[in-house]
Structure 1
Amino acid sequence: MVMSRYSQRWSALGAAGLIALMGTGCGGGGGGGSEGASSTPATPTPSKPSPMAAVGGKVIDGYVSGATVWLDVNGNHVKDADEPSTVSQAAGAYQLELSEAQRACLPYATLYVDVPVGATDEDSGPVKEAYQMAIAPRLQPISVDQVLHISPLTSAIWDQVRTRLSASTPNLSSCEQLRADQQLREKLVNEIRTVMGELVSRHNLSEARIHDDFIKSKDEQSYKLAQDIVKGLKAGYAYKRQLHTQYPDATFIRAEVYRGRGTRQFDDQAGVWYRNASVWLPSGYLNEWVVLDESLSKIQRVLNLRRQDNQPWGSATLKTTRTAYNFQNDGSDYLCKLNEAVEQSKDGVRYELVVHYEDPKREADPQACFNAAHAASPGPVGLREYYTDYQVGRVSYLSNLRFYAEQPEHALLKDWERLQGKSAQLDFASVVQRMAASGYRFEDEVKLPVYSWLKRSTDDSQLRITIEKSNTGPWTRSSVQADGTSRKDCSTDQGKTWGACAS
């Protein structure tokens, strides 16, 4: 898709012409006279455009010329006619002129670059497939001589941040919203730091290298990574356009295409291309996770398909989730999973009961897991879970308690199955009371016999600190560092002291 371009409009200060009235008088000795004064219009001073500021940098894949760089002032992810834009020149250089108001918005708005078909990549020649890159809001003062390079590496960060936050806060990056809401700025800062830490850890790159001109610095590792990322960006961008056409009522769509780095055996194998796409709908979501061929045009293997449908259930919400998955590369059939969840918030706490069904059937075709037969006969109940989450200031908390048939709580919940149409028969308020008395708060002891439990706190008051504890093993603490990296520590004395985790 070729994005439209336009020249930056200069605003002018209107100037009214000034009329100068000139009077001349003469006098001398004991007598004098006066001459009539005449008024002559002064030549109007030409109006001057408002002073403009500028921000510059480079568009980098190889260096890309002919791409449109624009500032998303209102945070709607679309280039509007009143938003500043420019076109990148030789060596990918761009200079975006900004009015005083736009310059004030620069730290709070996303810089996008639309690379159209016909733009020139100095490494690979004319661009044959349109794509988009971005750099996240900096949320700190930007000096007049600071350069902002836009590359696949900066784009990978913003794509992850948008995915995590945009579904719940669509205009999270609007200048007006971020300038007015300190709590929202802190939320975005912490999410950017978290994603940066993950990228640093996953690819062994420093934050400085991610924002650098890696072509000029001859950073071969960053360059090769960028080539992989931009190949994935193009494929993801094209697939996202297909999904927008297929699901016009979607509230948010994400499509990530990436090459595996070898961090996990089944879903991140080195050199393998993956596509992970999600569609958020008004009443649920869809997710697809597949392995692609080297051309990124054909699915070689489906790893996971999931669909969640939400509907009112009395005063609560019923969420029905169906999943087909197989992470084994051995040609075996797909496992079909079904769970139902009832969710309700009360007094600032979200309570959720999840019922998992044991489906003995396997299917050669993953789509068969979503047919009516599986929904009508899901099999016996296996696991039941309680989830609770709440927030205190800038710290959020989550608790998960699990029950199998051996635990008494499982038997107490025996009527909670096949929940469709049963909101009048079952009393979720009584389940909420049990969850409220279960010891769900982070500092409380769990008061119910469980198969397992886990509690997590996420402190975003400064750099993000996440602490997890469970019924097995030591406590763990993950801390985002100032340079974007992450550090993991462990505690065997319930968080009193922390040290290196055992290997």
Structure 2
Amino acid sequence: MKLKLISIALMAGGLSACGGGGGGSSSTSTPVAQTKTLQGVAIDGYISGATAFLDINYNGVLDEGEPSSITDDEGSYELSLTGSNSDCMDYAPIVVNVPVGAIDADSPNSPITEPYQLIFPPVMTVSSNQEIKSTTPLTTVLWNEIQADLYKGGLNSCSALKQAVNTQNSIIQNVKEHDFRIANRYNIAVEDLYGDFVKAQNTELYDLAQKMMPAIKKSYQETKEIQKENPTAQQAYVDYYWQHWDYSKKNEINKWYKVKTVMTADKLIVIEHEVSADLQTELVLSEHFERNGQKKNGLEYDKEASFSLSSDGAQYSCSVQETIKQQVQPNSLTTFGVMNRAGSQQPDWESCSRQDVGEGFMQTLTADIVGDYKDQFTQVQAKFNFENNAPHPEWVDLGDTLNSVSRGDFDALSYLSVDFNDNASYGSDSWNRHKYAYIENTPFDYTQTITSRYSQGNWTKGYYYQNGTSRFECSDDGVNWSKESCE
């Protein structure tokens, strides 16, 4: 199947009222509500019979009141929105449903036999100022990431995002981080992710998009099924993706994976399988991860269980971790907590999921400072690792007894310094400190840096650019940095 590329050109226009009469003064005129119009075209080849619509309530379904249009023989459509909702042109995703029977001009005698959906994220969220917005399989994958982030912030509609003025900058920044992760997954720059790679003759990206098309279709079909199974979930979706690089073995591979994600207010479940190249068969479980959270007495509690296949594919390991930390408050931007974790060999996920941290665990004392109560962006994080002798064994396996501790109990850790340059170990076996920063290149264009130093004396620094690329340096003294020092 040839690539279906949906190009969207945004045009904003207004209608003004005209007064009436031949030679006299006009009577009172009634203002006409502003109308915004969005035009687009499906190209290479043109797709006729598809439905394009503005998904105002973020549910992926064409509902009453949402502007829609059927693509014509040349793949063109036009959407118009009038009145108070006209701003939704900037705050809602654009969805194109390609149904069974739609016609691809490249294969006019072979109507589409499997439905699929392409999506372009809300214009105000994306890391692109290009006038032509290209909806591709890659932007569809990107939207899954963006929507999950928006749901975390309680924003599940155009109106909610539009009214959340105080959180939009934070959402934009989070989305930019998602841009990076998606672009990094496929080893492409963000500007190419949003661009018309057919016109640009970017054959590498074109081939990737071609490869992703059946994955997008199958993801769409199975996402609808899992959403029906989890009607109250904040987010539920299935993603199929291709991986070309094994980061543990540092060699090229050619594997497909299926990831099923279900997220509620207090739980996250992620199940990943390696699948066959035709996406029809689950070959092996790669990882089953589950995190449960609760908030009580000014504390945040998370318990995670991960049942994962080793890099050599020989056996599974079970890892259990719990995190208890103070909630950030307006007058308490420094918080303290503990992480407890242990590993074991378990025969299956069910056995792993029932494990507590138990005996022989490693305990880490944590100290974090954020820059502002509202954005809660971590500036410095310090971790002090105790391999064998936990300094606070009373703070272990608290999932069922969280009422037995309170936020004030963890003030006992206030002796821990969040000074990045501090060398104190506080009796730990090892420590690591991390400093997070954003370098502003232009408005809404930042480079994230993470500088880390370790008790062994080594330093690392990562530069994460918004085009999906990254650069790493290492040092022995925090002064002289080089890429070669990382080898």
Give the shorter-chain TM-score range.
0.7 to 0.9
Conserved 8 A contact 1:343-1:350: yes
- Letter aligned with residue 84 of structure 1: P
Query: Secondary structure at 2:100's aligned position in 1?
Result: coil
Q: Which residue of 2 aligns with 1:41?
A: none
- Letter aligned with residue 286 of structure 2: L
| Superposed counterparts of 1:239-318, under 5 Å | 239-265=222-248, 270-311=253-294, 316-318=299-301
Cα deviation code 1:207-261 (max 9, x no counterpart):
4443333344554322221122222222222232232233333222242210111
What is the CA–CA distance in structure 2 between the aligned matches of 1:51 and 1:421, rounded to whole Å? 55
Structure 1 residues 50 and 405 mapped into 2: Cα distance closer, same or farther (>3 Å)? closer
Unaligned 5+ segments in structure 1 are 1-10, 22-46
- Letter aligned with residue 146 of structure 2: V
| Superposed counterparts of 1:9-28, under 5 Å | none
Cα deviation code 1:59-98 (max 9, x no counterpart):
4685433222222345565543223222223353333334
What is the Cα deviation at residue 304 of structure 1? Answer: 1.0
Conserved 8 A contact 1:290-1:300: yes
Q: Are residues 1:159 and 2:135 paired? A: no
TM-score by length of 2: 0.77
Q: Are residues 1:392 and 2:371 paired? A: yes
TM-score by length of 1: 0.75
Q: Which residue of 2 aligns with 1:380?
A: 359
Q: Are residues 1:452 and 2:435 paired? A: no
- Letter aligned with residue 117 of structure 2: Q
What is the CA–CA distance in structure 1 between the aligned matches of 2:59 and 2:435, rounded to whole Å? 32
Conserved 8 A contact 2:91-2:158: yes
What is the Cα deviation at residue 451 of structure 1? Answer: 3.3
Indicate the RMSD between aligned Cα atoms, in angstroms: 4.2
What is the CA–CA distance in structure 2 between the aligned matches of 1:498 and 1:61, rounded to whole Å? 47
- Letter aligned with residue 321 of structure 2: N
Conserved 8 A contact 1:166-1:252: no
What is the Cα deviation at residue 102 of structure 1? Answer: 5.8
- Letter aligned with residue 207 of structure 2: K
Unaligned 5+ segments in structure 2 are 1-13, 25-29, 441-445
What is the Cα deviation at residue 111 of structure 1? Answer: 1.9
What is the CA–CA distance in structure 2 between the aligned matches of 1:431 and 1:232, rounded to whole Å? 47
What is the CA–CA distance in structure 2 between the aligned matches of 1:49 and 1:306, rounded to whole Å? 53
What is the Cα deviation at residue 150 of structure 1? Answer: 1.2
Cα deviation code 1:22-67 (max 9, x no counterpart):
xxxxxxxxxxxxxxxxxxxxxxxxx999785533333468543322
Percent of aligned positions with the same letter in both sequences? 20
| Equivalent of 1:83 in 34, 59, 66 | 66
Cα deviation code 1:445-480 (max 9, x no counterpart):
545233333333444573142222121422304142
Counting matched residue pairs gives 456
What is the CA–CA distance in structure 2 between the aligned matches of 1:281 and 1:459, rounded to whole Å? 30
Query: Secondary structure at 2:222's aligned position in 1?
Result: helix
Conserved 8 A contact 1:466-1:477: yes
What is the Cα deviation at residue 413 of structure 1? Answer: 1.2
Conserved 8 A contact 1:111-1:135: yes
Cα deviation code 1:99-137 (max 9, x no counterpart):
476664433432222223332344564333333222223
What is the CA–CA distance in structure 1 between the aligned matches of 2:15 and 2:306, rounded to whole Å? 59
| Equivalent of 2:326 in 344, 348, 351 | 344
| Superposed counterparts of 1:359-378, under 5 Å | 359=344, 361-363=345-347, 365-371=348-354, 374-375=355-356
Structure 1 residues 381 and 240 mapped into 2: Cα distance closer, same or farther (>3 Å)? farther
Conserved 8 A contact 2:367-2:417: no
Structure 1 residues 60 and 331 mapped into 2: Cα distance closer, same or farther (>3 Å)? farther
What is the CA–CA distance in structure 1 between the aligned matches of 2:399 and 2:237, rounded to whole Å? 30
> Structure 1 residues 337-346 or 282-291, which shifts more?
337-346
What is the CA–CA distance in structure 2 between the aligned matches of 1:426 and 1:12, rounded to whole Å? 62
Q: Are residues 1:70 and 2:70 paired? A: no
Greater Rg over alpha carbons, structure: 1
Query: Secondary structure at 2:113's aligned position in 1?
Result: coil
Conserved 8 A contact 2:298-2:327: no
Conserved 8 A contact 1:115-1:131: yes
Query: Secondary structure at 2:327's aligned position in 1?
Result: strand
What is the CA–CA distance in structure 2 between the aligned matches of 1:498 and 1:242, rounded to whole Å? 50
Q: Which residue of 2 aligns with 1:149?
A: 134
> Structure 1 residues 265-274 or 318-327, which shifts more?
265-274
Conserved 8 A contact 1:59-1:150: no
What is the Cα deviation at residue 305 of structure 1? Answer: 0.8
Q: Which residue of 2 aligns with 1:433?
A: 412
What is the CA–CA distance in structure 2 between the aligned matches of 1:230 and 1:391, rounded to whole Å? 41
What is the CA–CA distance in structure 2 between the aligned matches of 1:256 and 1:94, rounded to whole Å? 28
Structure 1 residues 354 and 177 mapped into 2: Cα distance closer, same or farther (>3 Å)? same
Q: Which residue of 1 aligns with 2:119?
A: 134
- Letter aligned with residue 134 of structure 2: H
Structure 1 residues 243 and 177 mapped into 2: Cα distance closer, same or farther (>3 Å)? closer
What is the Cα deviation at residue 200 of structure 1? Answer: 4.4
Q: Are residues 1:224 and 2:207 paired? A: yes
- Letter aligned with residue 449 of structure 1: G
